[in-house]
């Protein structure tokens, strides 16, 4: 049915709420890609089987991901009048015990991570109830305590495949408000008041961008959502699309109305099949409910969204390359100006924003720009979602107010290094971000401060590194990535990055020479200053920051032919300590190249000529007898 008035919207809202509060137990399994990868789909099937076998009347649903990757698979359970419980690390075999407990109105408490008594979806507040006092509160969990969920407000709590649940928690009301009671100018003013800046990395003021596109001349206008999230280790946008696709669609609808666009494109990478599937379904549902297509909500505003699937080129995240790719041409950036706002898709004024930028729009309309601007710092308003990965204990998606110090993200939310190891550095902003040493972790996450530290905000990846990470090797890894992903159009990026990569390769092989660092620095400076697009302009960041903060590691490689982190294979040797070796033969058995010899119960030894330095022997030794030098 097509919604055209408030009564109809209210009616759908009630239907949606009936699914969230079905008047009977509700089990919802976290089934974003991450949940599925950890076996969430098996848990879902097992729960379904078990419920069917027992003939229990339970509402079983799929939800997205609440972002605590380390604790997946996650399952939500709610009973009428009781708090919502989040169960963690649920395995297929737990299904029966969960259903068993359910029949008694209970849950296996040892599986419960936390309870949620009420939740502010920002577009409405839900009160679940009280009880289960033995289970910690959501806000007692350190991982959640310091987070502030604006963008991820619905993720992991509602069914992303059901538009009615989104409307149930107040979704599409901001669109209704925008279309029925606000002029496009008023919307742009509201976005300007929010001081929202582009979440794709560059941090351009969103309201200003919109007003430029609105003012541009063109017979047609387009809005594009950049969902070509290509940074290794970054998956904020993926989760936003998989867990709450309507939030994105609603943001684009409001933006299109404000800008005067008739068509929208979501450029999503083909490597995100689940996001594509859910977006397709969400678009179809939005159209069925009269929220997308012709005459939206009974007004004369029409807007259509199509999906364009990226073929895997990192550079297509650059807006001019993205447009080129949508047009069916190779993804190669072109010089700006003209900016897309003037001359974009098919030569028409085009407004491109990142997924997360669009996702912030509905709440800005719902709560007002001034409300939004209360969060954050002076020039950095709102929150930012980060994917916290690498050698950190709590891996997952983290949403914090801009201006939060890196230390809080890493130590309080992330709970420090994996296995209690000391953290050495972290990298923000994807492959072209800089590495920030632990001594600078009081740096607040905002666009300017990260830049001062030699890094960038980027789209929001945070990769944590500990003492076992070689900074030269890290720089080499990222330069190899950006060099591979260079489109090949301009020489500093294409040839320059390759030369930097080759020199780093040489250094990690122990063949570096005095003067290499100076050449790298000189070349990187030119790549940064003269490249055509942001890929080349930012690609040297990991190299320059690691030289700036960890120069001694480079010098150890070049001068002493040593890798202090003991990672660069050419510079290390494996040796067995005779006094520690018990002659258990385990290492000899796992060695893939038979480089280890020795008799039973007698010390073994490694033949350095055969050893490939794979580290298998060290991994299996129970007596710490294998050392790396």
Nearer to other proteins, 294 or 484 (CB): 484
What is the binding site for other proteins (CB under 8 A)?
313, 330, 332, 334-335, 337, 483-492, 494-496, 498-499, 502, 519, 522-523, 525-526, 529-532
Nearer to other proteins, 258 or 532 (CB): 532
Nearer to other proteins, 307 or 491 (CB): 491
Packing angle of the helix pair 40-54, 95-103 (nearest 10 deg): 40
What's the min distance (Å) between Cβ of 218 and other proteins? 19
Distance of CA 56 to the CA centre of its chain: 37
Nearer to other proteins, 335 or 419 (CB): 335
What's the min distance (Å) between Cβ of 516 and other proteins? 10
Record the tokens describing residue 91, joined without a space: 């395995």
What's the min distance (Å) between Cβ of 497 and other proteins? 8
Nearer to other proteins, 25 or 492 (CB): 492
Cα gap 550→570, rounded to integer Å: 20
For residue 285, give Cα distances in angstroms to 1, 180, 245, 301. 10, 21, 11, 18
Cα gap 168→379, rounded to integer Å: 34
Please report the sign of the dihedral spanned by the C-alpha atoms of residue 371, residue 372, residue 376, residue 381.
Answer: negative
What's the min distance (Å) between Cβ of 232 and other proteins? 16
Closest by Cα among 530, 538, 541, 621 to 583? 621
Nearer to other proteins, 6 or 519 (CB): 519
Cα gap 257→264, rounded to integer Å: 11
Nearer to other proteins, 337 or 420 (CB): 337
The single residue listed with the structure tokens 């901001």 is 174
Closest by Cα among 270, 276, 275, 212 to 34? 275
What's the min distance (Å) between Cβ of 558 and other proteins? 16
What's the min distance (Å) between Cβ of 344 and other proteins? 16
What's the min distance (Å) between Cβ of 329 and other proteins? 10
Nearer to other proteins, 303 or 554 (CB): 554
Q: Identify the burial level of 542 via C-beta atoms within 10 angstroms of its C-beta, where 0-12 means exposed, 13-18 middle and 19 or more buried.
A: buried
List, as one string, the DSSP characters of 368-389: -HHHHTTSB-SS-BSEEEEEEE
What's the min distance (Å) between Cβ of 515 and other proteins? 9
Record the tokens describing residue 396, joined without a space: 């997952």
């Amino acid at each position: 049915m097509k919604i055209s008035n408030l009564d109809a919207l209210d009616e759908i809202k009630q239907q949606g709420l009936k699914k969230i509060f079905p008047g009977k137990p509700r089990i919802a399994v976290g089934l974003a890609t991450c949940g599925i990868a950890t076996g969430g789909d098996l848990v879902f099937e097992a729960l379904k089987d078990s419920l069917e076998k027992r003939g229990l009347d339970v509402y079983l649903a799929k939800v997205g991901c609440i972002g605590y990757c380390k604790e997946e698979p996650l399952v939500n359970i709610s009973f009428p009048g009781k708090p919502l419980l989040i169960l963690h690390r649920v395995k297929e075999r737990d299904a029966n015990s969960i259903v068993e407990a359910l029949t008694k109105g209970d849950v296996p408490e040892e599986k419960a991570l936390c309870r949620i008594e009420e939740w502010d979806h920002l577009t409405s507040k839900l009160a679940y109830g009280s009880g289960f006092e033995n289970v910690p509160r959501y806000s007692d969990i350190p991982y959640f305590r310091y987070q502030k969920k604006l963008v991820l407000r619905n993720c992991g709590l509602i069914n992303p495949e059901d538009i009615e649940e989104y409307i149930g928690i107040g979704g599409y009301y901001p669109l209704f408000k925008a279309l029925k009671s606000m002029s496009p100018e008023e919307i742009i003013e509201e976005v300007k008041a929010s001081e929202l800046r582009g979440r794709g990395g560059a941090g351009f003021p969103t309201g200003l961008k919109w007003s430029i596109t609105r003012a541009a001349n063109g017979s047609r206008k387009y809005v594009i959502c950049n969902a070509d999230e290509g940074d290794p280790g970054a998956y904020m946008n993926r989760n936003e699309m998989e867990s709450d696709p309507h939030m994105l669609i609603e943001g684009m609808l409001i933006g299109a109305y404000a800008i005067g666009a008739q068509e929208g494109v979501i450029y999503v990478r083909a490597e995100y099949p689940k996001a594509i599937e859910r977006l397709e379904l969400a678009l179809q549902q939005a159209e069925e409910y009269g929220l997308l297509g012709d005459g939206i909500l009974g007004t004369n505003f029409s807007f259509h969204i199509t999906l364009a699937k990226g073929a895997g080129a990192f550079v297509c995240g650059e807006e001019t390359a993205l447009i080129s790719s949508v047009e069916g041409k190779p993804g190669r950036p072109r010089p700006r100006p003209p900016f897309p706002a003037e001359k974009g898709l098919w030569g028409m004024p085009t407004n491109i924003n990142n997924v997360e930028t669009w996702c912030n729009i509905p709440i800005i309309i719902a709560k007002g720009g001034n409300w939004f601007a209360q969060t954050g710092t002076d020039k950095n308003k709102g929150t930012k979602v980060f994917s916290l990965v690498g050698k950190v204990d709590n891996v997952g998606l983290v949403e914090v107010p801009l201006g939060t110090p890196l230390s809080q993200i890493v130590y309080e939310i992330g709970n420090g290094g994996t296995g209690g190891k000391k953290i050495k550095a972290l990298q923000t902003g994807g492959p072209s971000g800089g590495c920030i040493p632990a001594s600078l972790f009081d740096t607040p996450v905002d666009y300017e401060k990260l830049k001062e530290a030699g890094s960038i905000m980027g789209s929001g990846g945070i990769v944590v590194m500990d003492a076992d990470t070689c900074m030269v090797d890290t720089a080499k890894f990222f330069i190899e990535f950006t060099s591979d992903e260079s489109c090949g159009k301009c020489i500093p990026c294409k040839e320059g990055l390759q030369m930097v990569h080759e020199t780093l390769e040489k250094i990690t092989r122990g063949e570096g020479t005095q003067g290499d660092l100076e050449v790298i620095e000189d070349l990187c400076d030119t790549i940064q200053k003269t490249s055509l697009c942001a890929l080349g302009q930012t690609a040297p960041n990991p190299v320059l920051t690691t030289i700036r903060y960890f120069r001694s590691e480079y010098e150890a490689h070049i001068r002493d032919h040593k890798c202090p982190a003991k990672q660069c294979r050419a510079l290390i040797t494996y040796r067995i300590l005779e006094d520690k070796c018990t002659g258990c033969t385990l290492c000899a058995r796992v060695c893939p190249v038979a480089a280890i010899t020795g008799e039973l119960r007698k010390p073994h030894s490694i033949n350095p000529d055969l050893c490939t330095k794979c580290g298998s022997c060290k991994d299996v030794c129970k007596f710490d007898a294998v050392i790396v030098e």
